Amino acid sequence: MALSWVLPRVLPELARGLTRPGCGRALRRAASASASASVAPDFNSFVTRTNTCGELRSAHVGQEVTLYGWIQYQRQGLFLVLRDFQGMIQVIIPQDEAHSHVKNLLSNAPVESVVRVTGIVSPRPPGQENPKMPTGDIEVKAETAEILNSCKKLPFEIKDFIKKTEALRMQYRYLDLRSFQLQYNLRLRSRIVMKMREYLCNLHGFVDVETPTLFKRTPGGAKEFLVPSREAGKFYSLPQSPQQFKQLLMVGGLDRYFQVARCYRDEGSRPDRQPEFTQIDIEMSFVDKTGIQKLVEGLLQYSWPKERGSISTPFPSMTYEEALADYGTDKPDTRFGMKIVDIGDFLRRSDIQFVQNALSYPHGTVKAICIPQGVRYLTNKNLESLKESARSQFNQEIVEIICRPDGSLKSLLTRFLGEEQQSQLVQALNMQADDVVLLAAGEEKQVCSALGSLRLESADLLEAAGLVLRDPAAFHFLWVVDFPLFLSKEENPTELESAHHPFTAPHPTDTSLLYSDPTKVRSQHYDLVLNGNEVGGGSIRIHNAEQQRFVLEKVLKEDSEVLSHLLEALELGAPPHGGIALGLDRLVSLIVDAPSIRDVIAFPKSFRGRDLMGNAPDYITPEELKPYHIQVSWPLEEKEANKN
């Protein structure tokens, strides 16, 4: 039966809750297939309330309703505000003798007690409407009530404007979850994931497959959590991502895989990191980079919440090299300008010693950023702190040039520069009156990284001082492509490590370089960046066992034995394949403009990776450790503490 025929007739019925058991199977299937897309959810099904507190409006006037919720506050035994996940409603406490029992109950119940109230919806007396409340035109006149659970003294008030420490919020996370903001964040996250499932599975035939979380160590990459086993000396590892499994699913002929996947990295928390986090993990056979990019653009457009505007596709793209040269980072925030400009050519003929020194080295460069209106918005202290941060973080000296209101330049450097050089500089950097230029000379990578970081720091300072640089409602997606396949290890620059992971395929035009000069090979790795944050990354994979073995053994010097199962699979009919993973927590936190990914995770870990509510990780007894053949070797100070 064609959906277009069925749906217009059945959906209005469903919305009003009028369908009866026994409808035809096709009708039910058709309705449920599109339910999440078209029908408002019925929040009152299966429960004994008639309505949610937040849904009541003037249209309900005259109806008897039964509501359940938490007491937000109560005033002088006259009225209270009842709250549930959908909003708040004013309840009038009856004052007459016949209802003295109800009055007694409701006037004495502590805030946050859970109550049932039955009453009549009435218009508020003229002049007493509250336009700030969606339910502000009405109130419920209580007739009966029941205290379902009286609340003890709270560790903090459940009010959005009351600031509490994050440690306390995490310890009582279930109370914090009652706040409007967390309710909104978690519900929005759920909606986005639902739309993603719909897009991937229903519209594009992806298969949702769960992969194991007990696995073994993977070479390279992030630190993994270990899980002891009952076999002496043997451990599982929690996967950093389902990378190997998703590739093996392609060898298994699944063709299109997706999973809302839990991943684990033992790296400690940062504002945008958690030891356990969630990825929208995707893999496809017979696909190229463009195919994956189009899929992700379509997926984000389809699942993008309407209240956050719309996003336009295709997303712009930039090479890794361009990103580093123009923004000093592989995740540029493209919401504002202040790009890094190469001014080496203009200064080449000057007599400035440190400039000449820098330019005499093979990777020497002179670059600068121009801070718009820096004179007006940045204090001398700000400028000093910017210079200090370049010095301490990047070992990079910075020279400033100020553009005076008359257009002339003020700097230590001006006496070394002729008029023509000065005007070339002004032009190259597009300097206007009151702009401040920060100039750096030295090794290219160091100069770019320092200026990239100063670009972001000065943007924060300008905004703190009142200049709007980045529209808080703007979402700038960007693909960064053509990463190098390998990077030098920081701790030992003569050794190489994968820029993404060891399964990433070389760029087709660079494949032969893999065997002659691997440092020059670009990869088929792509990152997705949103407002300067990496929100996704993936690659086209190596599907040839020989090439994979070469990368592992000869380039990365890894023991390929630990990956023998994958190498063998690549020899047994592996299709060409590629994929991507989107960091769901980070993506949602940017969509809702939350300061931390912890604000979009129901039960997050603290900075130190602890669960402050349940107190995990926790000690276990030597007895409990015995089956794992493990003994704890206590640090001395803890041994002492345990004695007391």
Of residues 258 and 327, the one with the C-beta less far from ligand ASP: 258
Minimum CB separation of residue 520 from ligand ASP in Å reads 22
Of residues 49 and 262, the one with the C-beta less far from ligand ASP: 262
User: What pairing do the DSSP bridges indicate for beta strands 276-285 and 533-540?
Assistant: unpaired
Of residues 30 and 540, the one with the C-beta less far from ligand ASP: 540
Helix ranges, 521-583 (H): 545-550, 564-570
Minimum CB separation of residue 298 from ligand ASP in Å reads 17
Minimum CB separation of residue 263 from ligand ASP in Å reads 6
Minimum CB separation of residue 455 from ligand ASP in Å reads 26
Of residues 396 and 539, the one with the C-beta less far from ligand ASP: 539
Minimum CB separation of residue 216 from ligand ASP in Å reads 16
Minimum CB separation of residue 241 from ligand ASP in Å reads 3
Minimum CB separation of residue 270 from ligand ASP in Å reads 16
Minimum CB separation of residue 445 from ligand ASP in Å reads 23
Minimum CB separation of residue 504 from ligand ASP in Å reads 7
**In whole angstroms, what is the distance from residue 454 CA to residue 438 CA?**
9
Of residues 421 and 524, the one with the C-beta less far from ligand ASP: 524
H or E element, residue 79: strand 79-84
Of residues 462 and 552, the one with the C-beta less far from ligand ASP: 552
Of residues 90 and 243, the one with the C-beta less far from ligand ASP: 243
Neighbouring C-beta atoms of residue 448, cutoff 10 Å: 24
Kindly calculate the radius of gyration of the chain based on its CA atoms and give it in whole angstroms: 31
476: left (phi over 0), alpha (psi -120 to 50) or beta: beta
User: How large is the angle between the packed helices 444-464 and 320-327, nearest 10 degrees?
Assistant: 60
Residue 43, helix vs strand vs coil: coil
**179 contact partners, CB below 8 Å, separation of at least 6:** 158, 160
Closest CA to 413 of 534, 207, 421, 13: 421
Minimum CB separation of residue 581 from ligand ASP in Å reads 4
Of residues 285 and 539, the one with the C-beta less far from ligand ASP: 539
Q: Measuring CA to CA, how many Å separate 411 from each of 415, 439, 499?
A: 8, 11, 40
Minimum CB separation of residue 207 from ligand ASP in Å reads 16
Of residues 5 and 286, the one with the C-beta less far from ligand ASP: 286
Minimum CB separation of residue 199 from ligand ASP in Å reads 18
Of residues 315 and 354, the one with the C-beta less far from ligand ASP: 315
Of residues 440 and 581, the one with the C-beta less far from ligand ASP: 581
Give me the long-range contacts of 431-435 (CB less than 8 A, separation at least 24). 431/370, 431/401, 431/403, 432/372, 432/403, 433/403, 433/404, 433/405, 433/406, 433/407, 434/373, 434/374, 434/375, 434/376, 434/403, 434/405, 435/370, 435/371, 435/372, 435/373, 435/374, 435/375, 435/402, 435/403
Of residues 239 and 374, the one with the C-beta less far from ligand ASP: 239
For 253, the token pair is 């002929």
For 367, the token pair is 């670059």
**In whole angstroms, what is the distance from residue 73 CA to residue 52 CA?**
18
Q: Is residue 201 a contact partner of residue 260, using CB atoms and an 8 Å limit?
A: no
Helix ranges, 319-418 (H): 320-327, 344-347, 353-360, 374-377, 380-394
For 31, the token pair is 């309705």
Of residues 68 and 264, the one with the C-beta less far from ligand ASP: 264
Give residue for tokens 């696909």.
287
Helices and strands in the chain: count of H runs, count of E runs? 21, 22
- Residue type at 325? A
Q: How many CA atoms lie within 13 A of 326 on its CB side?
A: 15
For 490, the token pair is 């920081």
Of residues 103 and 577, the one with the C-beta less far from ligand ASP: 577
Minimum CB separation of residue 378 from ligand ASP in Å reads 37
What is the number of the residue whose Cβ is closest to ligand ASP? 241
Please say whether the dihedral angle defined by the alpha carbons of residues 12, 14, 16 and 22, taken in this order, is positive or negative: positive
Of residues 119 and 578, the one with the C-beta less far from ligand ASP: 578
**In whole angstroms, what is the distance from residue 311 CA to residue 485 CA?**
31
Give residue for tokens 């070389």.
506
Of residues 241 and 285, the one with the C-beta less far from ligand ASP: 241
Minimum CB separation of residue 178 from ligand ASP in Å reads 33
Minimum CB separation of residue 485 from ligand ASP in Å reads 13
Q: Phi first, then psi: give them for residue 148, nearest 5 degrees.
A: -90, -30
Give, as one character, the DSSP assignment of residue 101.
H
Residues near ligand ASP (CB under 6 A):
241, 243, 537-539, 579-581
Determine whether 621 is exposed, middle or buried from the number of CB atoms within 10 Å of its CB (0-12, 13-18, 19+).
exposed
**In whole angstroms, what is the distance from residue 129 CA to residue 78 CA?**
16
**In whole angstroms, what is the distance from residue 429 CA to residue 495 CA?**
38
